[in-house]
Amino acid sequence: MKPLRFKTITEFHRFRNLPPPEHPLIGVINLSSLAGLDWSQLEPTNLVFDFYSVAVKHNFPAKTKYGQQEYDFDEGVMSFMAPGQVFGAQPLPHAGSLPAPSGWLLLIHPDFLWNTPLAKTIKNYEYFGYAANEALFLSEKEEATVTAIIENIEHEYHTNIDSFSQDIIVAQLELLLGYAQRFYNRQFLTRRISNHRILDRLEQELAAWFGGDGARRGLPTVQSVANALNISPNYLSELLTVLTGQSTQQHIHDRLIEKAKAELSTTDLTVSEIAFRLGFEHSQSFSKLFRKKTNFSPLEFRSSVLHH
């Protein structure tokens, strides 16, 4: 299914039969305004925006798919999309019997941020990358906080636009994104059970990888490990950093060195053979990493174990 691409916010308003936006580069859509749509008659659609979107949705009568992950927006879920990301919307079969949708959708065209610090720093908010895999679950209090900011933004562009408007709206956007960062950090900590399950699955994945045919599979990468866990690389690394103080790459290296130490201690394999079994193309790369992590060369380590 070829995605529908929207280059402007006005195009999207037209697609959803909404009044033209009051500002061409930024706007808030109240989702209750979509209540009149007959969702059961709508076709499944893949969409791409050439602008940022931030949303909080309740009772949304469609299943939304980011990447390979599906979400039902039943409660206060906040999601983030960067320009160029593909997402799908498939109306629920019982959409007509659901309560009216509520919440809001904030659309921000990159041109609105032109010549402001946020034009560069917005790329540092990694949850725009995790939107493909991990939404933000808000408490009632958190949702009230972000909704108040959205109302401030809406009020600002509803009033007469003047030379201060852009600065004030950008300041509100920075506040919104800062709160979202705080709430994501809280989510990492409060959803400890599910997060620790991810940690357990990571350990199982790495154990299986280094216990298998590394020569055939090569070295695990952050991307390949994240794909195996069905979460994004950025989200996985942030989650691990909050829970363990180490990034995904550090976890991979730690398990690799553990396996290497076991091979050096319990087998007669050469350093080149061990490097090859672990997935290295060149034994020099293995020796360099081993020394960096242990302050020993592989042969020095083997000798110290044998003579201990």
pLDDT category, 68, cuts 50, 70, 90? very low
105 and 31 co-located in one domain: yes
Q: Are 125 and 151 found together in one domain?
A: yes
Residues 234 and 214 in one domain: yes
Out of 174, 190, 206, pick the residue that ends a domain. 190
Q: Kindly report the average pLDDT of the chain as a whole number.
A: 82
Residue 94: count of CB within 10 angstroms of its CB? 10
How many distinct structural domains can be found in the chain?
2
Same-domain check for residues 36 and 181: yes
- Any idea what the CATH number is for the domain that residue 209 is in? 1.10.10.60
Same domain (yes/no): 160, 214: no
pLDDT at 200: 81
Q: Which tens digit of pLDDT belongs to each residue from 256-299?
A: 998 888 888 888 889 999 998 888 888 999 999 999 999 989 99
Let me know whether 124 and 17 are in one domain: yes
| Residue 197 and residue 178 share a domain | no
Strand-pairing partners, residue 189, are: none
Confidence of residue 204 (pLDDT cuts 50, 70, 90): confident
What CATH number is attached to the domain comprising 153? 2.60.120.280
Which of 128, 162, 190 delimits the end of a domain? Answer: 190
Q: Is 147 exposed, middle or buried (0-12, 13-18, 19+ CB in 10 A)?
A: middle
My answer on whether 183 and 80 are in the same domain is yes
Residues 199 and 172 in one domain: no
**Which tens digit of pLDDT belongs to each residue from 99-132?**
677 889 999 999 999 889 999 899 888 787 654 4
Full domain range(s) for residue 302: 193-306
43-71 burial: b if 16+ Cβ within 10 Å, else e: eeeebbbbbbbbbbbbbbbbbbbbbeeeb
Q: Give the pLDDT confidence of 170-194 residue by residue, as tens digits.
A: 999 999 999 999 998 888 777 666 6
Confidence of residue 66 (pLDDT cuts 50, 70, 90): low
**Same domain membership, residue 9 and residue 119:** yes
pLDDT in tens, 42-59: 565 777 889 999 988 876
Residue predicted with more confidence, 79 or 108: 108
Question: Residue holding tokens 């090859």?
Answer: 276
- What is the pTM for the complete model shown? 0.65
Residue 26 shares a structural domain with residue 170: yes
Checking phi first, is residue 197 left (phi over 0); if not, alpha (psi -120 to 50) or beta?
Answer: alpha
Of 142, 167, 190, which residue constitutes the final position of a domain?
190
Looking at the structure, tell me whether residues 175 and 43 fall in a common domain: yes
d(CA 45, CA 6): 13
